[in-house]
Structure formats: structure tokens, C-alpha cells
């Protein structure tokens, strides 16, 4: 298959999101040149949801089942090791059956072992199905690693429509988070000169709007609407694959979500579903956008003139206090970038020069927070930190989430102009 909804998807060979398509898996594998040995990777839930049926269709192949028995699977070093121990290293192909965690683990192991893989999706819960990176928890820190892309993505509408409802709303939360990930990408393009693709941004925008237009069908698990969500998630992954990183689909809202997830893991808690965290974070992110761009250019110039920035010592002390045992991971990720005064002055000059353009762009492209809340409320999705059992102070989250990645976002812009959001 060379296109998906009119978008060229090479090098992914097959994307099939439709009714009654699990039976197509053996034919897809044969088309890919797989002849004999396959390892199927799943957990207890995804085995029941689709894994068992997929294995029945693979009767002409020699199948090794790699099934995780944990109630809550974490994509960490232990799970990677367990998968490597259980899989058949003579396999020609790895067939993952699941959603986020199963896909991330299989993609990473595929990349390291050079064994190709494909994914049978069991929930429209996240946008990583077609990306070429894996978010993994290593040393307690969520970091994105280069990994392989799938040879195929198969999503049977009956399977994904009957997924746990919070996984469906999680997928929608991940999709509407793209409003600010695209905004952060544009801001970085204007302020930092980061390469930006309008064509790829439009792929993501169009997928968001199709989901938003049909949001009322999510509650009833309408298969055509669930297909819209799944298609949008797949298209977001394709956008990331085309750019070569997660920039088109991950910005401030994902940094906030990652911070929430990291702190939960540090406290021995199970993190919220990723897309649910992103949906809640999108409310916060849009509030920040509209607060920042309520300023006029003269106000921004005055703020920059008076701005006082965190010293290196203050920064180090804060990171050690907040991140504790994983502080070194933060220092390694962000490094000295934001202590370069020459680079900061260059950014400040661009911010002032382009302020009116940016302000108009945000007004037209970033929804008001109330609109994000309306969308989430309409499907019964979490809207606030308390809805995902997060008891952290919002100021703490906003101040520290920007350290998750060395990536320019609206929080870095606020920092550059001396605004405490």
C-alpha cells in the first residue's frame, strides 16, 4: 500500500483500518516475504482482544507467543529484557498486538534486533503506531529513543471500537493536543529558525478537525467516528515519520504529560493514560498561549528590559530538588542550551520583531481553553488535574515540565521575555 487517505506513507507497506481485517494479517505477512517463523507480542488484555484470533489466522506459520502477564505493563528496561528473553530470535517477523506500550517495546526491540515488525492495534489510544521513535522509561526518566517503523498497521474497527472507553477518549485527548504542538513548532520556526513544513502541519491539522467535527459519535462508539480517531492518530505518526522526530505532534502539552507520568513513577504510582494526561495538559497549554499573547509588543519589550533569569546554580538546585535521582538525565537532555545569553538575545530580538505576526497566528490557530474543555466534557474525558488523580501544584508542573526536552515551546518563549506564567 503506497498511500493512506491520499498521503504517501512509504516506507510503511500496509495500513488497513477497516471492518473485519484481522484475517488479512497472514496475507500481508506473505506479501512482505515472511514465510515461516513469527513472534506475536501481546499482554493479557490484548491477547483476549485480538491476539488469540490473530494467532488462529496464522496457522500456516510457526508462531512463538510472547505474552506479558503484568497487570500494568511499563515500557522500561525490565520489560525490554523480558521480551528479549521470551521472543524467538529465529523469527523472521515480530507481530505486536496492542496499543502504546506493546507497540513501543516491540518497535524498539525490532530496531535493536533488526527483525522487522508490524502492529495489530487494539485501541485508538495514542499516536505512535506509525512513528519511528519509542518513548521508554529508562532509569525512571521518560526519554524518546530512535526505533524502527512498522511494516504494517492493522486496525479492526470492531476490536478498536470495543476498547475500554477511557482508551478511546485518551486517543482523542492525544489528538487535540496537536493544536499546541503545531503552535510550538511554528513559534520555534519564527524565533529559533527551526525547520517547519506547512504541508506536514496541514496533515495534522486536517486530522484534528475531522475528529473534532464528529466528536459526538465517540460516546456511542460509532465505528466511523472511531475510525476518524484512529486515522488521525495514524496520520500524526506519519507526520512524525516524515519529519524524523516527534515535533509535529508533541510540544508543551506532551512535556506536561511526561512530567506528570515521571512524577507518578517516582512516587511508585501508576501514571494516568498518556492521552488523558495530554488532554488535560492541552487545557493548561492553551491557557498559557492566550495569556502570553494577550500582551502587546511594547509590553513585551518592557518585560525583556527588566527580565532577570535563573542562575546556573539556582537551576541546578531546582532540578536536583524536583527530579531527585534522575536529575542527571535532565542535565544530559537540556544541557547548557538555555544559559547561552548570546542565543537568548537573538531569540528576544526575533520575538519582538515577529510579535504581531505570532499574536495573529495564535489567535487564528490555537483554540481558547474553554473550547478544549467543551470538547473533552462532551465525551466524558478528563478536563483537569484532579480528574486524572494528580494532586501536584500547577505552578510546580508548569515551572518544571519545560526541562523534559531541549525543545523550544511557549514556556521557553515566556521565559525569554521574563514572564512568569
Distance, CA of 128 to CA of 390 (rounded, Å): 24
pLDDT at site 148: 83
- How does residue 140 score in pLDDT terms, banded at 50, 70 and 90? confident
Query: Mean per-residue pLDDT for 235-257?
Result: 90
User: In this structure, are 97 and 211 located in the same domain?
Assistant: no
- How does residue 3 score in pLDDT terms, banded at 50, 70 and 90? very low
User: In this structure, are 49 and 187 located in the same domain?
Assistant: no
User: In this structure, are 86 and 67 located in the same domain?
Assistant: yes
Look up residue 230 and give its three cell numbers: 484512529
Rounded to a whole number of angstroms, the CA Rg of the chain reads 22
Query: Mean per-residue pLDDT for 215-235?
Result: 92
User: In this structure, are 157 and 221 located in the same domain?
Assistant: no
pLDDT at site 11: 73
Question: Which residues are CB-neighbours of 94 under 8 A, at least 6 positions away?
Answer: 38, 39, 41, 87, 106, 109, 110, 115, 116, 117, 118
pLDDT at site 5: 52
Distance, CA of 139 to CA of 323 (rounded, Å): 12
Of the three residues 163, 186, 213, the one that is the final residue of a domain is 163
pLDDT above 50: residue 2:
no
User: In this structure, are 190 and 153 located in the same domain?
Assistant: no
- How does residue 7 score in pLDDT terms, banded at 50, 70 and 90? low
- How does residue 229 score in pLDDT terms, banded at 50, 70 and 90? very high
Kindly tell me the burial class for residue 10, based on how many C-beta atoms sit within 10 Å of its own C-beta (0-12, 13-18, 19 or more).
Answer: exposed
pLDDT at site 138: 80
Cβ-contact 393, 385 below 8 angstroms: no
User: How many distinct structural domains can be found in the chain?
Assistant: 2
User: In this structure, are 36 and 99 located in the same domain?
Assistant: yes
User: In this structure, are 183 and 261 located in the same domain?
Assistant: yes
Look up residue 157 and give its three cell numbers: 474497527
Query: Mean per-residue pLDDT for 236-244?
Result: 86
Look up residue 52 and give its three cell numbers: 488469540
Pairing verdict, β 133-138 and 141-146 = antiparallel
Task: Single out the residue of 231, 199, 229, 227 nearest to residue 212, CA to CA.
Answer: 229
Cβ-contact 151, 107 below 8 angstroms: no
User: In this structure, are 229 and 150 located in the same domain?
Assistant: no
- 217 CB-side CA count, 13 A: 14
Distance, CA of 213 to CA of 210 (rounded, Å): 5
pLDDT greater at residue 338 or residue 307: 307
Distance, CA of 257 to CA of 409 (rounded, Å): 14
Which range among 61-75, 178-192, 224-238, 324-338 has the greatest average pLDDT? 178-192
Domain of 142 in residue numbering reads as 3-163
User: In this structure, are 146 and 214 located in the same domain?
Assistant: no
pLDDT above 80: residue 143:
no
pLDDT above 60: residue 242:
yes
Q: Residue 389 maps to which CATH number?
A: 1.20.1090.10
Query: Mean per-residue pLDDT for 26-44?
Result: 95
Look up residue 26 and give its three cell numbers: 497472514
pLDDT at site 198: 95
Average model confidence (pLDDT) for the chain? 91
pLDDT in tens, 296-329: 999 999 999 999 998 888 999 999 999 988 888 8
User: In this structure, are 30 and 157 located in the same domain?
Assistant: yes
Query: Mean per-residue pLDDT for 122-133?
Result: 86
Mean pLDDT check: name the lowest of 131-140, 273-282, 367-376: 131-140
User: In this structure, are 126 and 183 located in the same domain?
Assistant: no
Bridge partners of residue 64, in order along the sequence: 39
User: In this structure, are 176 and 113 located in the same domain?
Assistant: no
Q: Phi and psi for 15 in degrees, rounded to 5?
A: -130, 120
Query: Mean per-residue pLDDT for 106-132?
Result: 92
Query: Mean per-residue pLDDT for 335-353?
Result: 88
Cβ-contact 188, 375 below 8 angstroms: no
Spell out the SS3 assignment of the chain: CCEECCEECCCCCEEEEECCCHHHHHHHHHHCCCCCEEEEEEEHHHHHHHHHHHHHHCCCCEEEEEEECCCCCCCEHHHHHHHHHHCCCCCCEEEEEECHHHHHHHHHHHHHHCCCEEEEECCCCCCCCCCCEEEEEECCEEEEEECCCCCEEEEEHHHHHCCCHHHHHHHHHHHHCHHHHHHHHHHHHHHHCCCCCHHHHHHHHHHHHHHHHCHHHCCCCCHHHHHHHHHHHHHHHHHHHHHCCCHHHCCHHHHHHHHHHHHHHHCCCCCCCHHHHHHHHHHHHHHHHHHHCCCCHHHHHHHHHHCCCCCHHHHHHHHHHHHHHHHHHHHHHHCCHHHCHHHHHHHHHHHHHCHHHHHHHHHHHCCCHHHHHHHHHHCCCCCCHHHHCCCCCHHHHHHHHHHHCCCCCHHHHHHHHCCCC
Distance, CA of 413 to CA of 108 (rounded, Å): 33
Share of the chain above pLDDT 90, in %: 74
Write the CA distances from 383 to 173, 207, 254, 278, 376, integer angstroms. Answer: 10, 21, 15, 10, 6
Of the three residues 111, 132, 163, the one that is the final residue of a domain is 163
Q: Residue 15 maps to which CATH number?
A: 3.40.50.1970
Of the three residues 105, 129, 163, the one that is the final residue of a domain is 163
Own/partner long-range contacts of 263-267 (Cβ < 8 Å, ≥24 apart): 263/392, 264/390, 265/74, 265/137, 265/140, 266/140, 266/324, 266/325, 266/326
pLDDT at site 398: 95
Cβ-contact 41, 102 below 8 angstroms: yes
Amino acid at each position: 500500500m503506497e498511500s493512506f487517505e491520499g498521503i504517501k506513507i512509504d516506507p510503511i507497506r500496509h495500513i488497513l483500518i477497516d471492518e473485519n481485517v484481522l484475517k488479512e494479517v497472514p496475507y500481508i505477512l506473505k506479501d512482505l516475504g515472511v514465510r515461516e517463523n513469527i513472534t506475536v507480542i501481546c499482554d493479557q488484555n490484548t491477547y483476549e482482544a485480538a491476539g488469540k484470533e490473530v494467532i488462529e489466522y496464522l496457522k500456516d506459520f510457526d508462531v512463538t507467543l510472547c505474552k506479558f502477564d503484568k497487570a500494568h505493563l511499563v515500557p522500561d528496561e525490565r520489560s525490554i529484557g523480558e521480551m528479549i528473553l521470551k521472543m524467538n530470535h529465529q523469527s523472521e517477523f515480530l507481530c505486536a498486538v496492542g496499543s502504546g506500550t506493546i507497540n513501543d517495546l516491540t518497535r524498539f526491540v525490532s530496531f535493536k534486533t533488526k527483525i522487522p515488525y508490524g502492529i495489530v492495534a487494539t485501541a485508538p489510544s495514542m499516536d505512535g503506531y506509525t512513528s519511528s521513535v519509542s518513548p521508554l522509561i529508562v532509569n525512571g526518566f521518560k526519554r524518546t529513543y530512535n526505533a524502527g517503523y512498522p511494516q504494517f498497521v492493522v486496525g479492526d474497527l470492531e476490536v478498536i471500537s470495543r476498547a475500554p472507553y477511557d482508551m478511546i477518549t485518551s486517543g482523542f485527548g492525544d489528538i487535540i493536543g496537536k493544536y499546541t504542538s503545531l503552535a510550538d513548532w511554528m513559534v520555534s520556526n519564527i524565533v529559533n529558525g527551526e525547520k517547519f513544513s506547512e504541508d506536514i502541519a496541514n496533515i495534522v491539522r486536517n486530522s484534528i478537525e475531522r475528529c473534532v467535527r464528529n466528536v459526538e459519535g465517540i460516546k456511542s462508539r460509532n465505528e466511523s467516528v472511531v475510525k476518524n480517531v484512529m486515522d488521525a492518530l495514524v496520520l500524526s505518526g506519519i507526520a512524525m515519520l516524515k519529519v524524523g522526530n516527534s515535533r509535529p505532534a508533541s510540544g508543551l502539552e506532551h512535556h506536561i504529560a511526561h512530567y506528570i507520568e515521571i512524577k507518578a513513577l517516582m512516587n511508585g504510582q501508576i501514571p494516568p493514560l498518556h492521552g488523558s494526561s495530554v488532554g488535560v495538559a492541552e487545557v493548561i497549554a492553551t491557557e498559557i498561549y492566550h495569556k502570553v499573547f494577550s500582551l502587546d509588543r511594547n509590553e513585551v519589550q518592557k518585560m525583556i528590559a527588566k527580565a532577570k533569569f535563573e542562575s546556573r546554580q539556582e537551576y541546578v538546585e531546582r532540578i536536583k530538588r524536583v527530579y531527585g535521582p534522575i536529575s542527571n538525565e535532565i542535565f544530559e537532555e537540556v544541557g547548557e542550551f538555555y544559559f547561552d545569553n548570546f542565543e537568548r538575545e537573538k531569540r528576544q530580538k526575533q520575538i519582538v520583531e515577529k510579535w504581531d505576526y505570532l499574536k495573529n497566528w495564535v489567535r487564528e490557530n490555537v483554540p481558547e481553553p474553554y473550547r478544549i474543555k467543551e470538547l473533552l466534557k462532551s465525551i466524558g474525558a478528563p478536563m483537569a488535574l484532579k480528574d486524572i488523580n494528580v494532586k501536584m501544584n500547577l505552578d510546580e508542573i508548569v515551572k518544571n515540565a519545560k526541562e523534559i526536552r531541549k525543545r523550544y515551546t511557549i514556556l521557553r518563549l515566556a521565559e525569554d521575555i521574563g514572564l512568569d506564567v
